[in-house]
Structure 1
Amino acid sequence: MGFVEKWMESLDYEYEVLSSACVRHKSPRSTCEKCVTACHDGALIISQGKTVIDNQKCRECGSCIVACPVQAVSGILPKKDFFQNKIIATTVKPPSPKELLIYHAKGINTIACEEKEFSLEWKDMVEEVNSLLCKLGRTPFMTETETSFEDSYSRRELFSLWKKEGQSFVRQVTPAKWRFNHMDLDVTRYYPDHQFFDVTIDREKCSLCKGCEVMCPKTCFKLDDTGFTINPQSCSGCQLCQELCPEKAITMTSLIASAVTKSYDVYTKMCSLCNNSFQTLREHDESCPACKNRKAGYLNSQTC
């Protein structure tokens, strides 16, 4: 098969859910349905607890890619129209607030249209994203109306927005499988001084089972011999930690604030019942979680 044939075949690549990344595939306790909710064509469904895509219904609009908090939907995000440092407000649905925040961080600072005024949908979106930018301490998007654009927008400008870190233009227009950009949609990467979610631990409930540390796709948790650290800055809101915690000790809330790392002291104790060492967030604990939760009379033999 020649290069042209391979090119054409690759351009027909279908969206897929990466089982290695999707929180639904990672844990049966996950209830995430963000991609399902975002799809207006019913192309994404939950089947046997897992997220799957019906490619016969999928129009590859990219809504699921943007909505996924852990970048588990693989595919090509449809290109938007740009001219210089402006995103062009077309008649199609405007980008999501997440997309616009990323475009802003990449240097796009103006939203422009050729009409006398923006559509109501674009007006609402500009107002929403500018409110977020103010909370982030960034300059809001400027807007322009009745703007004239060249007949064709530079393909170099369109592609380099996502890959301006240095790849050549030739590679930008090579087969679609080489141009995945779903991993670029982690908005926390572009605003390292801020967090979009807060994660708190109830120290009276937490048993330090390490489930959150092991399962968190954004590595927000770290437990060692001296402390338990939470880094909410990298949290993208998948809620997996909150849903799988057996003690219901984790609470995650949406907000925009300056990034703050939380640290909790960890105590190594000797259990008064089983004489095994254990870690705890409570200095007053005298028994390990296993013994503390054991029912009275458990393992007491009633026979010879």
Structure 2
Amino acid sequence: MVLRQKRILVTGGAGFLGTHLCQKLLEDGHEILCVDNFFTGSRRNIEHLLDNKRFELLRHDVTFPLFIEVDEIYNLACPASPVHYQFDPVQTTKTSVLGAINMLGLAKRLKIPILQTSTSEVYGDPTVHPQPESYWGHVNPNGIRSCYDEGKRCAETLFFDYHRQHKLKIKVARIFNTYGPFMRLDDGRVVSNFIRQALLGEDITIFGDGSQTRSFCYVTDLIDGLVRLMNTPAEVTGPINIGNPGEFSILELAETVLALTGSRSSIIRLPLPADDPKQRCPDIASAQKFLGWQPNIALEEGLKRTIPFFENLLRGGPQSTAELRIASPLAV
């Protein structure tokens, strides 16, 4: 039983992370207002929540002000994969910057805590490895990825200026690569790309020689970290890295996906995209210290939980998974 039921706003609530966060907060006994403009999010993602009396859906673009009454805000609104944030880069920057301004203004008016989902992309192509929160980054300010990287960096600036100037209660999480059910087939992320290609028997496309590394955090671990961060004392503002410090090369990921799917797909190599970071791995000492958090689900186990979701999608079946228990306990 939740100690105090809150009414919580989740922007980007019909996206990959937002769907899991809405579900987690409902399971914790809260009322949820899910806001999404459905640019990358999908109504289908949250259909299983619509009959819940404590869940409300509002179609809205956070680049416009929102006048509501809530107790907490999780700001997740922004396309997060290169395919989507590069489709309309001006709108991506506006979503990060104007969206932050509008949500911070709402939090200021209501005098409530607000959590910003920032990103490991603020570190750019890092010269420090693994990346601690104290590292300022190595970012191209005018490249094809800059709309996302710099938009998120500016949003962090706004959050900390609102905190210093207006005493606003803020939390900033820097999210590293995350994967799991409710990812889109066409989002262009490496995990979803490899699983889709393997299941369809297509060539697995690796950019460069595959030696570039990433860390992969299973989505339920990530969501647990976000909720823990929101519930820390006011003096814990972040930024705090949330991700899995286990580091894998892209080639290792491809080979693991092939083994788990039993696919006979071949691995082919394409030119490396501009500004693609060579290494990305979080230093999670702050998360361990302030949140008592660390990831529990290893990459192979997480992939075993994710692959059936994509198999269902490719068969045209429902998006639900047994692990999410989406059918029953929330429809009350």
Output the TM-score relative to the length of structure 2.
0.25
More helix per residue:
2
Higher relative contact order (CA 8 A, sep 6+): 2
Output the TM-score relative to the length of structure 1.
0.27
Greater Cα radius of gyration, structure 1 or 2: 1
